Structure 1
Amino acid sequence: MIDVDGYRPNVGIVLLNADGRLFWARRINRDGWQFPQGGMRSDETPLEAMYRELEEETGLAAHHVEVICATHGWLRYRLPNRYVRHHQRPTCIGQKQVWFLLKLVGDEDALKLDASEKPEFDLWRWVDFWYPAAHVVNFKRQVYERALRHFAPLVEDLFGVQLGSLPPRDEAGSPPTGPRDGRAAA
């Protein structure tokens, strides 16, 4: 499903653990890391799509999470020209997303990356709040920054912490430090 402007409706998921760290996963057979996300079906609301994608990509069901907040309206990103399939009609030039902030209320042992027939991720870890905005592929960076900025005050209130602002990037586009105490699971 692609809208008249060429954007595919999509949902994104920011999942918090009990320590306020974020679920960060590696795409299967690739070196790219990202938040869970996926396209909406024409008969789904964003919330319904989010629960379906959550279960497909992480194995978590609705009872494993608490929905804290969602972004208002669509956050859009354009695909680099090399990823646009110009021969397909309608042509998809990017994605428009509603982002959800979730808190894991179940045990992290419920995370199952192979819960669907075609797993999307092969590795995951918990990372600091701003880490994903600096480490996602460049064309998604602005959307990640907008979603995280929207959620930051809620996370600060929820956990009684000061997250500060998005850290500056070094000349290579990376933040000065990587994930600390990153936990990975296959």
Structure 2
Amino acid sequence: MASQQPSPEKTVGLSIGAAIRDRRRGLGLTLQGLANGSGLSVPFLSQVERNLAHPSLLSLEAIAQALDVDVDYFVGVPTPGQIVCRADEHDRIDLHSPVVYERLSGRHAERKMEALRLIVPAGLAAPTIHREGEGFWYILSGTLEMTVGRKKFVLNAGDSAHFDQRHPYSMRNTGKSDVRMIWVGTPAIFKD
């Protein structure tokens, strides 16, 4: 028996509701704030976000204006440049730090995670920090000592760590060569 696929209309509705909710939350707006900005009611917007109602083109234009985006933001497919990051196109993020940060993640505005390649110089000890979201570290080469809370771990090439970054954490390159690693975390931290 063939599985039923959702109709294109329902598929678009699902992505529009989620896109509106994600954009609204990303801007720190409440449903009431979006209602005030768009001239639409809170109950209607709530139903749109939950895919229980579908906005007309005029309503979608009002929502887009209130969220400071074009209508095609909700219905357009991201361009290849927003999805694919070629080996020679990695953005270097200058944080005035001895650590080299290169963006590996896509460039679409509503990404929920960040992926970076880090190069940590030999002997560097980073201060203890904490932030919202999860973090995933994968060591490509070198030896990195990490501390999460009061627990210390030594990570070598091929090792990984995945943890809640609300716990205080730090890292230290204990080796004589650079550590090359991949860091993936939520939420995205570097906005374009």
* TM-score calculated relative to the size of structure 2: 0.24
Asked which structure has the greater CA Rg, the reply is 2
**TM-score, length of structure 1 as denominator length:** 0.25
| Higher relative contact order (CA closer than 8 Å, sequence separation 6+) | 1
